[in-house]
Structure 1
Amino acid sequence: MHLRARLAQPARGRGQLAAGTPVLPGLIVSAVVLVGLCGGSGMIWLPLLAAGPALAATTNRPRGVVWVGLFAVVLGAVLGARHDVPGRELAAVLSALVAVTLASGLASALRGRRERVLAAVRSVAETAQHALLKPVPQTVGPFRVAVRYSAAAAEARIGGDLYALVSTPHGVRLIVGDVRGKGLPAVGTAALVLGVFREAAYDEPDLPAVVDRIERSLARNLGRDDFVTAVIAGYRDAGHLEMVNCGHAPPLLVRASGGVVAVDPAHPAPPLGLRALSGEAPGLQKVPFAEGDQLLLYTDGVTEARNEGREFYPLAERLARHVGDEPERTLTALHDELLAHVGGRLHDDAALLLLQQPATSGPYDGTGHGPAGR
């Protein structure tokens, strides 16, 4: 291990040296000088030497910019002397080249400072993401689980979609939702929903009571036009899932025998935060969930993703094509294909959570700690 680390250090040093060396700007300066020597009229080509330090400012640190500028000034002086350029004209061109070098060095310093600030912001965003969207283990209770999340603002790393899956004394419980809107207000609402869900999932024996806790919290904290669509599900007794759908896209159920079906809500309910407007309480739905079955929960950033032809991403069709015995591999294939469908950049937050009950999981003890007898 130590030998491998020592061997890797020179390689990393060479990589850092190559990254910090202004190779391309130096080649451009050399190419301009070569053209000037072959062209026979050095004065015409001298102003193009400024391209070297200007390019170095976009890729290198100030020290690299200065070295490229000095290199260009020296070669420019040699080129001017070789072609007998008048001293006053040569001095003017070289002075302009020095000015461009100094300005490029300043631009490089400012760029480096912005990059450091951006790196710090990204680090904070990643920390916030891990606190808000805690990593889901590959195995929870009797289930194998995989998650994929992509924020539309890739630089922010977090957005308004939310998910959580916890093992509780009342069984495994999970939520996947989508906050209306984007930006920091949506992130704040997502944090509120997840905090209430994680607490209520442990405290409340019945799934509708968990939903009621979230609804009451949102009613106190959300604006009049704000809401959250969500699917809250639980697995207490072997053989079926309990589910409450609050205005969210229907999950996709993959039967072990084959086929993908949408789990439409038997009793449609308004999104979380809007119950006071309709007065309708969400109904509990029981969905058969046998060994070998899989359930995919997702947000509308997946199904509403469009390609260049304005065609929506056909999630159910692609799920049937890629589904397998490993949830992680299935979601990787779906996520990669989704990004290819939109050309590499999503325009809305997208979350995917795949739940699989392996055929060898055995009977579940209902405590949230795994199959009975283990």
Structure 2
Amino acid sequence: MIPLGFIVLISVVDLASPNDVHLGPLLVVAPAITASFAGAWLTGLIGALAVAAQVVIGIFHGGLFTTNHETQIIALILVSTVIVLYCRVRERRGRELTRVRSVSETVQRVLLRPLPERLGPLRLAALYLPAEDEALLGGDLYAATRVPGATRVLIGDVRGKGLTAIEDAAQVLGAFREIAHHHIALPGLAAALDASFARHLAETAESPDEDDAVERFVTVLLTDLPDDPAEPVRIANCGHPPPLLLSQGKPVRTLEAGGSAPPIGLGTLPGAHYRQDAFDVHSGETLLLYTDGVTEARDGERAFYPLAERAARWGGVEPSGLVDRLRRDLLVHVGGRLKDDAAAVAIERA
């Protein structure tokens, strides 16, 4: 209706103006505006109506076959044609982008499978915010699987960005899903993940970018949550930010590990070893795992996102509601755009 309104308004004003005043060239506004929200066919129709209006103006406002009106009509036809061609190109690019996003979404569902809302006696919810525009995948990763008597959860962050980071994330996720069932203790699982990633790096070491392959590693947090609520939660931290424990009416507790372990990919360093720590997590408490893309997100004044301070308000909130609040609050803090990928997993015993 807006382009039609412009056509009618410009035509009426032009017809009511003196013969030496010509507003017909302004009719090009109608197809130009239409192109901003419609496709080629509707834009072409509006362009044709604008040309028809110019013809009517020519007939009743100085003569159709004057040089001025003929020039205006030809120019309006040419400009409208260019706008329609632009719409065709834009629609084709849009279809290509839709196909690419469809492939990306499929790859994401394969690599970074959505976590179920319920897994054993646990409620889970995950958050993933890629930093790249139009991207659905990045270097942050998470996964969860059932093992005898417990639920095993992984969250990690690959060093770097781009296709190399996605490749490394895919390797770690695939290795975790395969070997998580073969190790009872988390230190053994961490060592196995490190060995698997080392083989992956060895296979890529022959690539032209050999130096980058040497510097690739993944920070990982492994968590075992037993089905028996009386048993403690076991955590193996491999260079990753420690999780937070949220409880309604209580301060946020940071589950700091008793010792440090290197990230996956650096476990072959001299003296490196993996260990696990035990923490009591009671019913009604929420375990929040996250990547450094959350805590290192900065606002316009370069201040880091205060995750522990904000999370203190969300004690007692169910996991899905918690990650929704975290998403909104984090995006508000950074002004709508992250500089790094961010991921989080909220876990609560049902």
Normalising by structure 1, we get a TM-score of 0.84
Of the candidates 1, 8, 11, which is equivalent to residue 33 of structure 1? 11
Which amino acid in structure 2 is aligned with residue 299 of structure 1? T
Pair 1:98–1:213, CA change in 2 (3 A): same
**Consecutive unaligned residues in structure 2, runs of 5 or more:** 202-212
SS in 1 for 2:36: helix
Note if contact 1:233-1:244 (Cα within 8 Å) is conserved in structure 2: yes
Cα displacement (A) at 1:179: 0.8
Which amino acid in structure 2 is aligned with residue 150 of structure 1? L
Pair 1:241–1:104, CA change in 2 (3 A): same
Partner of 1:230: 220
Which amino acid in structure 1 is aligned with residue 24 of structure 2? L
- Does 1:101 find its partner at 2:80? yes
Note if contact 1:170-1:205 (Cα within 8 Å) is conserved in structure 2: no
Which amino acid in structure 2 is aligned with residue 342 of structure 1? V
Of the candidates 266, 272, 275, which is equivalent to residue 258 of structure 2? 266
- Does 1:329 find its partner at 2:321? yes
Structure 1 residues 265-344: aligned runs within 5 Å: 265-344=257-336
SS in 2 for 1:289: coil
Cα displacement (A) at 1:174: 0.7
Pair 1:138–1:273, CA change in 2 (3 A): same
Identity across aligned pairs (percent)? 40
CA distance in 1, matches of 2:323, 2:222: 20
Q: Which shifted more, 28-37 or 86-95?
A: 28-37
Pair 1:279–1:35, CA change in 2 (3 A): farther
Cα displacement (A) at 1:135: 1.7
C-alpha deviations, 1:74-122, integer Å up to 9, x for none? 1112223322156112111110111111111111111111111111111
SS in 1 for 2:151: strand
C-alpha deviations, 1:346-373, integer Å up to 9, x for none? 2221111111124xxxxxxxxxxxxxxx
Note if contact 2:151-2:225 (Cα within 8 Å) is conserved in structure 1: yes
- Does 1:112 find its partner at 2:91? yes
SS in 1 for 2:264: coil
SS in 1 for 2:22: helix
- Aligned residue pair count: 336
Cα displacement (A) at 1:260: 0.7
CA distance in 2, matches of 1:63, 1:143: 53
CA distance in 2, matches of 1:41, 1:349: 62
Note if contact 1:170-1:202 (Cα within 8 Å) is conserved in structure 2: no
SS in 1 for 2:181: helix
Of the candidates 171, 181, 189, which is equivalent to residue 160 of structure 2? 181
- Does 1:87 find its partner at 2:66? yes
- Does 1:66 find its partner at 2:44? yes
CA distance in 2, matches of 1:42, 1:130: 65
CA distance in 2, matches of 1:293, 1:266: 21
Note if contact 1:132-1:194 (Cα within 8 Å) is conserved in structure 2: yes
Of the candidates 104, 123, 126, which is equivalent to residue 147 of structure 1? 126
CA distance in 2, matches of 1:158, 1:290: 34
Partner of 1:24: 2
SS in 2 for 1:348: coil
Note if contact 1:174-1:233 (Cα within 8 Å) is conserved in structure 2: yes
Partner of 1:363: none
**Consecutive unaligned residues in structure 1, runs of 5 or more:** 1-22, 359-374
Note if contact 1:174-1:234 (Cα within 8 Å) is conserved in structure 2: yes
SS in 2 for 1:44: coil
Note if contact 2:247-2:316 (Cα within 8 Å) is conserved in structure 1: no
Note if contact 1:232-1:244 (Cα within 8 Å) is conserved in structure 2: yes
Pair 1:318–1:32, CA change in 2 (3 A): same
Q: Which shifted more, 117-126 or 325-334?
A: 325-334
SS in 2 for 1:78: helix
Partner of 1:123: 102
- Does 1:347 find its partner at 2:339? yes
CA distance in 1, matches of 2:99, 2:59: 49
CA distance in 1, matches of 2:271, 2:2: 67
Cα displacement (A) at 1:185: 1.7
Pair 1:60–1:355, CA change in 2 (3 A): same
